[in-house]
Amino acid sequence: MTASSARADLPDVQLSPGGPFGVYIHVPFCVTRCGYCDFNTYTPAELGGVNPDAWLRVLRSELELAAARLSAPTVQTVFVGGGTPSLLGGERLATVLAAVRDNFVLASDAEVTTEANPESTWPEMFAALRSAGYTRISLGMQSVAPGVLATLDRVHSPGRAVAAAAEALAAGFEHLNLDLIYGTPGESDDDLARSVDAAIEAAVDHVSAYALIVEEGTALARRVRRGEIAAPDDDVLAHRYELVDARLRAAGFDWYEVSNWSRPGGQCRHNLGYWDGGQWWGAGPGAHSFIGTTRWWNVKHPNTYAQMLAETTLPVAGFEQLNAKNRHTEDVLLRIRLRQGLPLTLLDARERERAAVAVDDGLLIGDGDQLVLTDRGRLLADGVVRMLLG
């Protein structure tokens, strides 16, 4: 694998044939920074002269350059993430999708998703998004327990996420995701159970549940280091995962990726593209892309991003070329997490021998020509990957 960093000239990239192609849009704006978050986001005080309208203008410039590089391929999925995309409001988010349509061919059945924070949504916004062509909303719920929300520095009220889900459903959205976080210091089993039950009762068709990770450089990490709160415990996290899984499966959800459950037909196609070998162009400050054998990432700060695009230069900070070994490692790492499993054909003879040991250990099961994680294997997915790769 070769890599380049700092401002970099992106080499020629060509889409590999077959598989889905998606566009990811990164919205860098947040009102406040949550204590656990290490995403590339900025509050108004950190942005200087960049505002949402200025960001929209330079985003359009990047999409124009991207389409020219790739000869405007057909886009199967669009995902607007952040940050807090819902801070843009319905009209600007409609403009984002229009910019994609103006530069690429959008498939007739394209999945178009935006993330949204419950506190920055309202019924008319959801109606505007549906009219613009968005098909899926992903709401950051995290928890319904006030103490958990306070520890995470989330500003929405405990019931707001469920209310926002109801508003999105009323606006005509058939696909709706609620994100949960489990393992927050001070969280009880009952706190998590009530959160999962609230998501189920909200009648959404998709739930994501992620173990809290204490990322270096965050306010949460500083609190843990000072001894104000305890770091998440691995055994507690495993127990909480099992609690989430049992409740969701009893309600008609099934896992399709280790941290994601859906009702039939509710899987997020854009995220499946990441896990199942798809390609995507990531536009916006700090966004990552993967085309062919090349992965690259944009400069992080919106001001630098805007300056480079003003010079008609792709805002690339660095790139790496994946060789066959790198790509194989990533295929195993990502595809083993899927309910559809890892194709045996991807493994060499020695890896198949290791897989047989994992089957004997109760971590994998053979499902035809696929290897699928068992319930116990899902708790140890990273370890299973290390076992397979040796």
CATH number, domain containing residue 238: 3.20.20.70
296 within a domain of the structure (yes/no): no
Residue 95: its pLDDT value, please? 98
Distance CA 40, CA 176 (A): 24
Rounded to the nearest integer, the mean pLDDT of the chain is 92
| Interval 39-50 mean pLDDT | 74
Residue 38: its pLDDT value, please? 66
Final residue in a domain of this structure, among 226, 253, 276:
276
324 within a domain of the structure (yes/no): no
Is residue 269 located within the same domain as residue 357? no
| Interval 353-364 mean pLDDT | 96
63 burial type by CB count under 10 A (0-12 exposed, 13-18 middle, 19+ buried): buried
151 within a domain of the structure (yes/no): yes
75 within a domain of the structure (yes/no): yes
Q: What is the pLDDT of residues 96-109, one digit of tens each?
A: 999 999 999 999 99
Is residue 231 located within the same domain as residue 380? no
14 within a domain of the structure (yes/no): no
Q: Which two tokens stand for residue 272?
A: 């499946």
Q: Say how far residue 122 (Cα) sits from the centre of its chain.
A: 23
Final residue in a domain of this structure, among 276, 298, 326:
276
287 within a domain of the structure (yes/no): no
> How would residue 229 be classed by pLDDT, with cut points 50, 70 and 90?
confident
Is residue 267 located within the same domain as residue 369? no
Distance CA 222, CA 38 (A): 13
For the beta carbon of residue 146, count every other beta carbon within 10 angstroms.
12
Q: What is the pLDDT of residues 283-317, one digit of tens each?
A: 999 999 999 999 999 999 999 999 999 999 999 99
Is residue 222 located within the same domain as residue 353? no
Residue 115: its pLDDT value, please? 97
Is residue 266 located within the same domain as residue 348? no
Q: Which two tokens stand for residue 197?
A: 């039950």
> How would residue 48 be classed by pLDDT, with cut points 50, 70 and 90?
low
pLDDT value at 350 more than 70: yes
pLDDT value at 158 more than 90: no
> How would residue 7 be classed by pLDDT, with cut points 50, 70 and 90?
low
> How would residue 181 be classed by pLDDT, with cut points 50, 70 and 90?
very high
Helix (H, G, I), strand (E, B) or coil at 131: helix
Strands (DSSP E) found in the chain: 2-4, 21-27, 74-82, 105-116, 136-142, 175-182, 206-211, 254-257, 260-262, 279-283, 288-291, 294-298, 316-321, 342-343, 364-367, 370-373
Is residue 374 located within the same domain as residue 232? no
**Domain range holding 352?**
341-389
> How would residue 24 be classed by pLDDT, with cut points 50, 70 and 90?
very high
Q: What is the pLDDT of residues 109-157, one digit of tens each?
A: 999 999 999 999 999 999 999 999 999 999 999 999 999 988 888 767 8
> How would residue 4 be classed by pLDDT, with cut points 50, 70 and 90?
very low
Q: Percentage of the chain with pLDDT > 70?
A: 96
Quote the pTM value.
0.94
Is residue 90 located within the same domain as residue 232? yes
Is residue 268 located within the same domain as residue 351? no
Is residue 265 located within the same domain as residue 379? no
Domain count, the chain: 2
Final residue in a domain of this structure, among 229, 255, 276:
276
Is residue 43 located within the same domain as residue 125? yes
Question: Between 48 and 163, whose confidence is greater?
Answer: 163
pLDDT value at 35 more than 80: no
138 within a domain of the structure (yes/no): yes
Is residue 139 located within the same domain as residue 227? yes
Lowest-pLDDT range of 24-33, 180-189, 258-267: 24-33
> How would residue 6 be classed by pLDDT, with cut points 50, 70 and 90?
low
Distance CA 123, CA 353 (A): 55
> How would residue 5 be classed by pLDDT, with cut points 50, 70 and 90?
very low
Is residue 165 located within the same domain as residue 266? yes
322 within a domain of the structure (yes/no): no
